[in-house]
């Protein structure tokens, strides 16, 4: 099966926090970073997610924001440092590829944002992803 | 492979509109509804998406909003009418299951929204999903 | 009709930038802030969006992140300053209400984020929303 979801980074579950409807799952990526995913409690059950479980974290390109450095004092749990490797620009949007530890991320952001941040191939950036935007796949 | 993404509805691609960075793909679901997905152009290429291609539309629960009836004059392209079949409520969030033509959707919305809309099992609702939140899988 | 989308702030379109598949629409909110929405070109056409058009910006709670101050050098276009007015905490998630100029926003973020940021009623925050997460309604 092929997925349109550009960003698939393998990792291992390190903790599961269960609410009544939702759960937060933390995973350590192969590059060493930690990722938090907020998913339904039902998904945790059906995928049998528990500490030690191998997973892939799935993140749609439109859910990835970029910053020119680490951001402090922000609710966004996931921040992955990397380097811009490619930029494809359209009339309104741009697709920016970022090489991070353990893989590559694509961020679909506005053309304006690319210009305002002065992004180019080689730029150091931090990819930001809200926990509610991270899905998990268990093989 | 198992996915945490609760909402996976099969369909067939009816059109692909290509931009420089992004593309919009329309698909007809087995229930007869049309879905629009805004995905990267690269994903269209790698999945070989074209008219007639069988796909599954993937929508994370946190991306599904609910309305008590059809909504006019809104940029949200995807509206699927259905009936609430289950509600699990937590301290902040709720997971609401909706039976639609061709499958079942889970919506993760705030507890406040469930109360304000007076949702209960049997309620008629319309599930709303922004095109940028729809991913596609090609088998 | 009622919508589960918690965040609906009225405004007026100030510009429309068209790509081949997607478009970015800027609107000035009644509180004076500017909001950018990345929506499909088709939605722009069907809603007849153009400068001067009255719209409501719709933002699902799960798409709102919070920061303890303005964030520079970030691709996220939309930053609305406000004050926390309420926090409802569940086992994994929290719903945080923020009063901003021209209305109120709800942010569904992880319980961990609320604790790490030390959020309480009265906290000054900046709500962050990626353009691809903003929908528009035209009355």
What domains appear along chain A, each with residue ranges and CATH number?
Answer: 7-138 (2.40.50.100)
Q: How far is C30 from chain A (nearest CA, A)?
A: 23
Q: Using only the alpha carbons of chain C, give its radius of gyration.
A: 15
Where do the DSSP E strands lie in A1-139?
Answer: 2-3, 7-18, 22-29, 34-40, 54-59, 65-67, 78-89, 93-100, 103-110, 124-129, 134-138
Contact between residue B23 and residue A97 where contact means Cβ atoms under 8 Å apart:
no
Question: Is a pLDDT exceeding 80 seen at residue C129?
Answer: yes
Contact between residue B95 and residue B61 where contact means Cβ atoms under 8 Å apart:
yes
pLDDT at A109: 93
CB contact under 8 A, A4 and B40: yes
Contact between residue B24 and residue C22 where contact means Cβ atoms under 8 Å apart:
yes
Contact between residue C127 and residue C84 where contact means Cβ atoms under 8 Å apart:
no
CA within 13 Å, CB half, C4: 30
Which of C91, C108, C109 is facing A18, going by the closest CB pair? Answer: C91
Strand order in the sheet with C93-100: C65-67, C124-129, C78-89, C93-100, C103-110
Token duo for residue A90? 């359209």
Average pLDDT, chain A: 93
Whole-number Cα distances in Å, C12 to A31, A122, C33, C133, C134 = 45, 38, 11, 18, 14
Q: Which residues pair with B13 in a beta bridge?
A: B27
Lowest mean pLDDT among A43-47, A83-87, A96-100, B100-104: B100-104
Average confidence (pLDDT) over C29-45: 93
Per the rule left: phi > 0, alpha: psi between -120 and 50, beta: everything else, B118 is left
Question: Is a pLDDT exceeding 80 seen at residue C96?
Answer: yes
Would you place residue C1 in the very low, low, confident or very high pLDDT band (cuts 50, 70, 90)?
low
Question: Is a pLDDT exceeding 80 seen at residue C102?
Answer: no
First to last CA, chain B: 12
Chain mean position to CA A89:
21
Rounded to two decimals, what is the model's pTM?
0.92
Per the rule left: phi > 0, alpha: psi between -120 and 50, beta: everything else, C46 is alpha
**Alpha-carbon distance C34 to C15, whole Å?**
11
pLDDT at B2: 80
Q: How far is B35 from chain A (nearest CA, A)?
A: 15
pLDDT at C2: 83
Q: Which residues pair with A28 in a beta bridge?
A: A12, A34
Whole-number Cα distances in Å, B27 to B34, B117, B130, B132 = 6, 30, 14, 14
Chain length of chain A: 139
pLDDT mean values, one per 10 residues, chain B (139 residues): 86 95 94 93 94 95 94 93 96 94 91 95 97 91
Average confidence (pLDDT) over C73-98: 95
Please tell me if residue B70 touches chain C, with a CB cutoff of 8 Å. Answer: yes
pLDDT at A1: 62
**Alpha-carbon distance C13 to C34, whole Å?**
9
Average confidence (pLDDT) over A94-114: 92
Would you place residue C5 in the very low, low, confident or very high pLDDT band (cuts 50, 70, 90)?
very high
Average confidence (pLDDT) over A71-95: 93
Question: What are the counts of helices (DSSP H) followed by strands (DSSP E) for chain B?
Answer: 2, 11
Contact between residue B45 and residue B119 where contact means Cβ atoms under 8 Å apart:
no
Short-list A5, A127, A126, A139, CA closest to A59: A5
Which residues in chain A are closer than 8 Å to C24, comparing Cβ atoms? 92-93, 110-112
Average confidence (pLDDT) over C92-111: 93
CB contact under 8 A, A19 and C66: no
**Alpha-carbon distance B28 to B16, whole Å?**
12
Q: Which helix (H) or strand (E) holds C38?
A: strand C34-40
Q: What ipTM does this complex have? A: 0.91
Mutate to test the interface with B, among C1, C3, C18 (most CBs of B within 10 A): C3
Which of C20, C47, C108 is facing B18, going by the closest CB pair? Answer: C20
Whole-number Cα distances in Å, B122 to A20, B82, B97, B119, C20 = 21, 9, 11, 8, 41
Contact between residue B33 and residue B129 where contact means Cβ atoms under 8 Å apart:
no
pLDDT at C79: 94
Question: Is a pLDDT exceeding 70 seen at residue A105?
Answer: yes
Contacts of C28 (CB under 8 A, 6+ apart): C11, C12, C14, C34, C35
Ordered alpha helix ranges (H), chain C: 41-47, 111-117
Please tell me if residue A124 touches chain C, with a CB cutoff of 8 Å. Answer: no
**Alpha-carbon distance C47 to C92, whole Å?**
38
**Alpha-carbon distance B2 to B9, whole Å?**
15
Which of C63, C74, C90 is facing A19, going by the closest CB pair? Answer: C90
Contact between residue B117 and residue C4 where contact means Cβ atoms under 8 Å apart:
yes
């Amino acid at each position: 099966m092929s997925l349109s979801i550009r960003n698939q980074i393998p990792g291992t579950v390190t903790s599961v926090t269960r609410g009544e409807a939702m759960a937060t799952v933390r995973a350590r990526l192969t590059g060493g970073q930690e990722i938090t995913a907020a998913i339904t409690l039902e998904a945790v059950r059906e995928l049998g997610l528990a500490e030690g479980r191998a997973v892939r974290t799935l993140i749609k390109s439109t859910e990835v924001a970029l910053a020119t450095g680490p951001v402090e004092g922000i609710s966004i749990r996931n921040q992955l440092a990397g380097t811009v490797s490619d930029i494809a620009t359209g009339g309104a949007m741009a697709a920016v590829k970022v090489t991070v530890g353990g893989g590559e991320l694509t961020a679909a952001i506005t053309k304006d944002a690319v210009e305002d941040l002065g992004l180019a191939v080689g730029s150091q950036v931090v990819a930001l992803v809200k926990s509610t935007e991270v899905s998990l796949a268990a093989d």
